[in-house]
Structure formats: structure tokens, C-alpha cells
Structure 1
């Protein structure tokens, strides 16, 4: 009965008082004939002519500068798999709500009925002039890699696949903090990543950019360790093929300072956790059920730091900590793309914010009397009101620094002085 009630509650939430979670509002006065003539004919001709003469004026006279598309083909929706484009719409609307709520970014959600990458890329590229950025969502690997790469090359606005880079940024921020607390360095850590899909590949790539060593990274798929003697690897997996005698999860875990799970539920045992070296870090991020539950992992040993993708345990690796604010910073400098330097800047900003005193509003949201940087608080809360100050500023500064911004650093932003925590 409880399960049915929860299901009905979710359906009612989406249906009443009106279907869906989004609406469009008018932003200019529109109550007189004079205002009608400005909003449409004949007044609308003036911005049309201005944009025809200078396409950059679209950012001045239209909503483009604060509008992104959340676009999917529905081939990898949450934990539901290939639901198809139409059934993915509630998720895309939900993503739009998060963008608006946390960073005041407007969104059109667009569900494209196209499993073929050529069709999908062509569709997105043709509608891109509407938007200041493209957030790709819930597209299955390996097509997601090709689609993002081709759109980045083709468009002059940010294209960001959140399932790849959003996850990677939050993982990197939390992991750097966890390793610091464990007295270890990313440069030295042996990392086992279970899962070689979009999130796993992107997370490992970003960690390599931030200092991890390829020889210390062991990625696993359903067939075990990805090694150089295998002849069944996609190009993305092949980048992580190492010369090693390790073949199984058990083999890899014996030397792993870090386990990152981006695969499926109940794939890690207590014996695997016990076999890890002292002071390990375990990120079991499969949702809704992790690779190993915190209860089992903590019962196996008491010197680990644990994170999951769930909100009912400490240290939730939650993409909402990233994508709204990353796009906010990119839009505010009219960036042409979101590059790796901007990813790293966002991760560093999150890492730094977790070390700041926790405000009262966050304590109240979590129903806690105290929270502080430590083994159960390695990443900020999604309710931290300072996210909007830390991350967009870091991202915008990185965009300006790397030459992908159309404008300078916004004057209303705080000074871009986010240091990388844990370094001199």
C-alpha cells in the first residue's frame, strides 16, 4: 500500500493542478496597443535588423543569453534504460526545474526521436541558434561520446553532456577532499573504476587531468579489468587499457586506495572492501542501490570514507551541485564552449566550499545541529546558498582565461580568487 501511495503521489504531483512542471512567462509589459506594437509588428523589426547585421546582438535583444536546451533521445534514462524520447520528457522537465531553481537559467526541454547519431546531431545543430548552450542528457554510450564531440566542433555555444562531465566534476571534488582527509594524494592513489560508460570514462579523464597517473587507474567493465591484451575494446575503453596481470574485481581491489562505482547494485562484497589498503575511499554511486551499501562497507572496516549517489546517506555525489552553476558561469560570459579548464575550476570551487563553515540554513535543511568538513562531509550540500557565488565565478574566470568567453569577467561577480585546496 505504501509503495502504491508513493507511486500515486508522484503521478499526482506531475498531473495537478496542471500537467507538467514548466510554464513560459512574459517578461515585458504587454497591456497596451503601444506595447503590442513594440513586442510584435512593427517594433520587432528593429531587433531583427540589428541581429541580421550583427548576430552577437541576439544576446542583447532576445532571451538567448539565458536559455539552454536540455536535449535527449531517451536512450539511457536514469536507471530505466532506453525508454524512448517521449517517456523521457518528465526527466527533462525535472532537469529544467533544477536549472531554474538553483541558477535562474531558463530551459526548453527537447526530446528528439532519433537513435541514429547523425540524425540527432543534425537536429540539434539546426535548432542551436535558439540557445546560449546545450545540455545533453540521458544518451547511451558509446553514441554519447560521438554526439558531444561532433556538436562541440560544429557549434559556437557550450555543449555539455552532464552524465559525463557533471558526474566527473562532483566525483573529482569529493575525491580530492576525501584523499586529503585520508592523508593521501591523487598523484599517488591507485584508483579502481567499476563502470566504463559515459560517467566512468569522463570521471577518469578528469582525474587524469587533475593529477592522477594512468598507470594507477584500473577500469572495469562487465568482462573484468580493461587491459592491453583485450581485443574487444571501444576507443573510449582502449584509452584506459593498461599492461597488467590483474583480471578480476578482486584482483584490482587488493591495491586500490580508491574505489569508484558507476556500474550497478551489489557488485562489491565486504571481502573486497577488507582487502583494500589502509584508509581507503569508496564511492559507490550506482542509483538507487549502490555497489555496496554504506552499512555493509562500514561494518567491514572503520577507516574508510564513503560516498554514494543517494540523499539519505552522507556525502551524496549529486550532479545538481554542478550543472546549473557551470552553465550560469558560462552564460554570463557568453562562452563558446565549456572546456576542461572550466571543469577543473568547478571541481576546485566545490572542493573549497566544502571546507567553509556550514551556514545555518544548510543545517536546517538537513535537520542537523552541526556539520563540518570531515569524513561525513566531503562535498557541499545542494542547499548551500553559496554555490551560486563559488562555482559560476570560477567557471567564468576560467572561460575568460582560456579565451572561450565573448565578454570579460562579469563586474557583479566576486573576485575570481578560488584557490585549489590541499595545495601550496
Structure 2
């Protein structure tokens, strides 16, 4: 059995350990005596209900809502797995929930919604507003994820956050900001090429533009090549915001003299020859999708590393 197969076997044993899964609900108040039960439930619970009726803000003081986040997905774009559906995505959502709890002590429920239609999905999630203090959208495919987040932010009175967009963008923005300091370049003067036309890539570009990167200095490439004005294949209004008026059609065309490469697409798209065509002291930000192999071996690309000029900065973002 290979090392990668052993990892999968270990993961299955881990998830099957009793109790199955990774989450549980634990009482936060004493439930020892009859009086405890009378305070937690009827008749004493009526006092908390009436207080919230009089002042809805009291829900933050009398219930778990203020520290309770919903991790919600329809399983349509699970990292590295694709459209696997809501049920198969549940281990991922439980995993994100335990990260919230372990590293921020935020309580979470994972909710997997069997709805691909944005209208139905939004209707379901919006109806859950009274239960949660915030919504974390997870692994929803583009462009539906943009529609869903925009609509829920308008309809709900609690924070709505799409992790695949904004979590990724925050990390990428910080990495590029610091890398530019290392090479002594200014963000408003650099030329950036990004691969991937999905939620993560577009959110990264939006944040970098807000940080000072000029939109006209960005070339976006996806599976169809350069995103240019007038292109018909695989376009949507969100991707069109980064369409350039250019004769460039391939990544090989776009990469010439680029200062930064932001890789948020399939692996092995950037070749050693492309790296040599980049500008001086180029920055390469690769965003490898975790896999069985990358859990065991750091996912550097030896051929790319060895054949790159000595002034290249290559950073796998994990």
C-alpha cells in the first residue's frame, strides 16, 4: 500500500472513531438538579423568551446565537473534489466547523443544503437568520456564489462571509504585500497575471485592486486562455470586470514581463520557460490544492525551482 493510500485509510479510521464525525453539542450550563432543568427549560425558560420579545438584542446575552456560526454549503465546488453534492460535502463542513471551534472558540453548526438554484438556496439560508450570529458560505461554485453572497448580505441582518472568496483573498493580499516589500516594488507599479476565473481568483483581484493594484495592470487567464474584451467562451459578469482590450490569448503571451504570478487554477500551468520571460525579481504565488500527496510532501515543483532564475521568489501558499 502506498503512502497516499495509507493516509486515506487513516482518515477513514479517524472519521469512524466513536462517535462518528467531528462535531458534538455540549451543554454549557449545569443540568444536575430538578431546579437546573426548570431554569433551562419550562417553566423558567419563558423569562428568557419574554426578554427577547421585548428586546431582540437580548438574544446575544440569553442564547448561544452571538457565538454561533453556520457553515453552509450545497457541495457544488468542494476544493479538489468539485461538485460532489451536499451529503458528500458534510465531512468538509464539519472540518471547517471544528477549525472555528479549535482556533477561535466559535461554535458552529454545519448545514448542507440540497439546492443548486440560487433563489432556493438563499430562501433556505435567509430563513435561518434567527438561529445564527453569522453565516459562513463554503464551497459553492461560481458564479452562483457571487449571486448568493450579494443577495444574503442584503436580506440578512447578520454578517455573511464566503470563505472561498474572502479568506483566500486576505491571505493572498498579505503574502503579496510582504513579498513586494522584499523585492522593493510598489503595488501600484506592478503587472500581475492570475490564473483561475473562479471565486477565489476574482476575490483576490478585487482585494488587490482595493490595495492599490491598477486594474489595467492585471491579466486574468482561465481554462479558455486570456480573459479579453469580446470573448464569448465561459464568461460571466463577474469575470468580465477583468476583461482586457488586448491581443494576448494565452498565458504564455500574458506572462512576459509580469512582476507577479498568482496561481489559483489547475496545477502545472506555469512552465520554466514562462518564468524566464517574467520581469526582474518576479514573485510567484502558487496556491496548491491539498491532496493526499501534498499532505506528505511539500508541494514544490522541483523542475520549476531548479530551472528558475536566481532572483525568482516562489511561494506555495498553504
TM-score category (smaller protein): over 0.9
**Residue aligning to 1:301:** 309
Q: Normalising to structure 1: TM-score of the pair? A: 0.71
What is the alpha-carbon distance in structure 2 between the residues aligned to residue 294 and residue 305 of structure 1? 13
Unaligned segments of structure 2, at least 5 residues: none
The answer to whether the 8 Å contact 1:125/1:155 transfers is yes
**Residue aligning to 1:123:** 124
What is the alpha-carbon distance in structure 2 between the residues aligned to residue 86 and residue 229 of structure 1? 39
3-state DSSP of counterpart to 1:85: helix
What is the alpha-carbon distance in structure 2 between the residues aligned to residue 295 and residue 185 of structure 1? 29
**Residue aligning to 2:115:** 114
Q: Flag as ranges the 4+ runs of structure 1 deviating above 4 A.
A: none
Unaligned segments of structure 1, at least 5 residues: 309-316, 319-424
3-state DSSP of counterpart to 2:203: helix
The answer to whether the 8 Å contact 1:68/1:105 transfers is yes
What is the alpha-carbon distance in structure 2 between the residues aligned to residue 303 and residue 293 of structure 1? 17
2:288 pairs with 1:286: yes
What is the alpha-carbon distance in structure 2 between the residues aligned to residue 138 and residue 16 of structure 1? 26
**Pairing of 1:375-414 with structure 2 (within 5 A):** none
What is the alpha-carbon distance in structure 2 between the residues aligned to residue 306 and residue 128 of structure 1? 43
- Shift, 1:225, TM fit: 1.0
**Residue aligning to 1:70:** 71
**Which of 235, 257, 260 is residue 258 of structure 1 equivalent to?**
260
- Shift, 1:106, TM fit: 0.4
3-state DSSP of counterpart to 2:127: helix
**Pairing of 1:15-414 with structure 2 (within 5 A):** 15-232=16-233, 233-288=235-290, 293-299=300-306, 300-308=308-316, 317-318=317-318
The answer to whether the 8 Å contact 1:51/1:57 transfers is yes
- Shift, 1:5, TM fit: 2.4
The answer to whether the 8 Å contact 1:165/1:199 transfers is yes
- Shift, 1:301, TM fit: 1.8
3-state DSSP of counterpart to 2:128: helix
1:120-148 deviation digits (Å, cap 9, x = unpaired)? 00000001210000000000111000000
**Residue aligning to 1:11:** 12
What is the alpha-carbon distance in structure 2 between the residues aligned to residue 39 and residue 52 of structure 1? 18
- Shift, 1:298, TM fit: 2.2
3-state DSSP of counterpart to 1:192: strand
The answer to whether the 8 Å contact 1:294/1:306 transfers is no
The answer to whether the 8 Å contact 1:208/1:214 transfers is yes
Q: Normalising to structure 2: TM-score of the pair? A: 0.94
1:198-257 deviation digits (Å, cap 9, x = unpaired)? 001000000000100001011011121111132342101110011222221111111210
- Shift, 1:293, TM fit: 4.1
What is the alpha-carbon distance in structure 2 between the residues aligned to residue 141 and residue 66 of structure 1? 29
Q: CA RMSD in A?
A: 1.4
What is the alpha-carbon distance in structure 2 between the residues aligned to residue 283 and residue 129 of structure 1? 40
What is the alpha-carbon distance in structure 2 between the residues aligned to residue 21 and residue 203 of structure 1? 31
Compared CA separation, residues 257 and 52, structure 1 to 2 (3 A): same
